[in-house]
Amino acid sequence: MAHGAYAADDVLFTNKNMARVITLNRTEKLNSLNTLMVQKIIPRLTEYAKLDVCNAIILNSSTPKALCAGGDVAECARQVMADNVQYATDFFQKEYNLNFLIATYSKPYVALMDGITMGGGVGLSVHAPFRVATENTKLAMPEMDIGFFPDVGTTFFLPRLDDNLGFYHALTGEVLTGIDAYMAGFATHYVPAERLAQLQTRVSNLNPPVINGAANEASNLRSQKDFFVQVNAVLDEFAVLKLPENYQFPLSADEIALINKSFSKSNFDDVLASFKGAGTEFGQKTHDRLAAKSPTCVRVAFELLKRGQKNSLRTQLELELTVATNMMHAKARGERFRQGRKTQASRQDQAAGLARMEHV
């Protein structure tokens, strides 16, 4: 790969008063995350973590169209087609390391999910303590449609959403917009986009506590906790705290009940049977959507999500990396990933090439 093809300013790092701002700036690709971007973000976050002041971190975008449209799947596909599987596996390892860093970060991290937030963009956001959706948010995990699986630690996060909605959105790739992303649990706050600039100013003007070192660890923890509360209070100031009178979640109570019942099954074939046997239009539609995915990919994803209900995030990310690596090696031998950006996934079983969970 010609690294020079990537702009030096695809990620911008600025100090806004007391906050540290990370701005994704690869606008021509809707901020699709590549290896070089990840390699820039990790050391900056590590540097910020070591500062004596508990600065807030803000993740935003230079375009209102997207926070991040995902990992650069197209580049991974090109590299795999050129038999450079190591590029793809290195990318996933670095990306998952970044996801873990965000999840375990000791300072307030605010992700502004304004615009398209999909795949790798979800990984940059959902592990944060503060996740802001706007009316422009379009959030999804579309990996199933390119013969892959929901990754970036979402197999840990999604099973923890209420009513098994995480299973539904992971396996169908259904897009959530605006306030729906908040109601489903992907976002912690819903803020109109016109308020984001002022919100960032208010967060940056907060006076973060000074961290005095290991000798005062207990005091530091109390101060950090108090500062998280302050950041949350600012977000609450700008958030819409009352739903519009005419608001209706896209799934009805009966549909959510069917989702919860069906994805409680331990076997994916039983999941399909549950939706089909419901005798409803929604049940049949969901059955057909799931049945249209690669039979192996959807079963691998389902098993990962089931394991994610009990595993730690670290364990789950390690498992995702193993599965991703196995898939890349299989797909390098001619599997469907090469065509994933060009056409909808075929329904043909990938069992001959893709790694099954029992071999992980």
Task: Please identify every residue annotated as catalytic.
Answer: 71, 120, 143, 151
- Which letter does DSSP use for residue 62 in this model? S
Edge to edge, the sheet with strand 130-133 lists: 11-16, 19-24, 57-61, 109-113, 130-133, 189-190
Estimate to the nearest angstrom the gap between the alpha carbon of 147 and the chain centroid: 17
Buried b (16+ CB within 10 A) or exposed e, 36-71: bbbebbbeebeebeeeeebbbbbbbbbbeebbbbbb
CA distance readout (Å), 360 to 131, 237, 257, 318, 335: 32, 46, 32, 11, 18
Query: Would the CA dihedral through 191, 195, 199, 202 be positive or negative?
Result: negative
Phi and psi at 31, nearest 5°, equal: 60, 30
User: In this structure, what are the phi and psi dihedrals at residue 110, rounded to the nearest 5 degrees?
Assistant: -115, 115
Element (H, E) at 194: none
Largest CA distance in the chain: 64
What are the angstrom distances between the C-alpha of 356 and each of 270, 295, 297? 18, 11, 9
Kindly give, in sequence order, each residue whose CB lies less than 8 Å from that of residue 318, ignoring residues fewer than 6 positions away. Answer: none
137 touches 117 (CB < 8 A): yes
- What is the 3 state secondary structure string of 15-56? EECCEEEEEECCHHHCCCECHHHHHHHHHHHHHHHCCCECCC
How far apart CA 13 and CA 60 sit, in angstroms, is 11
Rounded CA gap, 75 and 81, in Å?
A: 10
